[in-house]
A = this chain, B = another copy of it.
């Protein structure tokens, strides 16, 4: 395992300590594994809490900040945080107007967040709503879209819900915006190499030196095919085709596009993918607004990329463009 760390056991806590030390203007850690926005949720504003396993920076913790999230509960690498930590994050995020729970559709996370919501509902009388992100088109067919896992599309939902909360929307309004963003996003990923979970000490999967896997998830969940590494344009074409098959778009449609590295894949390669994806959407008459190219939702040192589209209407576009900032992104 070639990683810069002190021990697998201290990996997450030392990471969070460094994160908060480097960016105290954004992140505070009032108790272990709970990161809250510095200064807290402004009074009367809806709080937004996310959470999930470590190893995906900037997801989840990184998106805490003004115009984005209020708090995050952090688990071990690729593992759910406990319901207790989530409940604590919810309490910290509560500014008196309730809290939206906005996170990826993974079994463990869902059970724990549900439990946490019950806990704060009973013990603290905090109203919560839940919106699950399930944007990965390769993880279930359209008829079972609710079973899909959440990947890089989370970033759009965080941004859009965060903007609606900053505007002063009530819990129902913020929840509606988050739901709309979640419904508007579709993602697909492809991987070239695995990554290593520190506590496991060995790669999450094995793949040939000249192979890629299309449709793979951010923890190495299996995709739809594995085969010889294709040329960048062919990869982009297939990804765009599969996204469009799931969410047909045409002339006059406006989307934002996120070309995301899973970690090791450098921006140079992302721009080569973006170049082609953009041309493909232009061919369809689809306009790309405020594209994102970079590392937004990762799997540590996994090599690969994902493409996410977020279909915009006037409301979503306005929310996407509203000011927001965290250590990893600024609008």
Docked-complex contact B269 and A5, CB < 8 angstroms = yes
Shortest Cβ gap from A228 to chain B (Å): 11
Docked-complex contact A4 and B291, CB < 8 angstroms = no
A105 within 8 A of B: no
- Distance of A264 Cα from B233 Cα, bound (Å): 23
Shortest Cβ gap from A203 to chain B (Å): 12
A131 within 8 A of B: no
Docked-complex contact A4 and B298, CB < 8 angstroms = no
Shortest Cβ gap from A62 to chain B (Å): 8
A245 within 8 A of B: no
List, in ascending order, chain B residues with CB within 8 A of A264's CB: 263-264, 301, 303
Docked-complex contact B4 and A265, CB < 8 angstroms = yes
Instruction: Please give the number of chain A residues whose Cβ is less than 8 angstroms from any Cβ of chain B in the complex.
Output: 57
Q: A4-B273, A192-B4 are in contact. Are A15 and B57 (CB under 8 A)?
A: no
List, in ascending order, chain B residues with CB within 8 A of A249's CB: none
Docked-complex contact A275 and B14, CB < 8 angstroms = yes
List, in ascending order, chain B residues with CB within 8 A of A6's CB: 231-233, 272
Docked-complex contact B4 and A275, CB < 8 angstroms = no
Name the residue among A21, A259, A267, A278 with the largest chain B CB count within 10 angstroms. A267
List, in ascending order, chain B residues with CB within 8 A of A293's CB: 18, 22-23, 327
List, in ascending order, chain B residues with CB within 8 A of A267's CB: 57-58, 62, 328
**Across chains A and B, which 9 residue pairs bring their CB atoms closest together, nearest first?**
A18-B271, A18-B275, A264-B264, A4-B269, A18-B274, A266-B300, A57-B267, A15-B268, A15-B271
Taking Cβ atoms with an 8 Å cutoff, the residues of A that contact B are 2-7, 11, 14-19, 21-23, 54-55, 57-58, 62, 192-193, 209-210, 229, 231-233, 235, 259, 263-275, 278, 291, 293-295, 298, 300-301, 303, 305, 327-328, 330
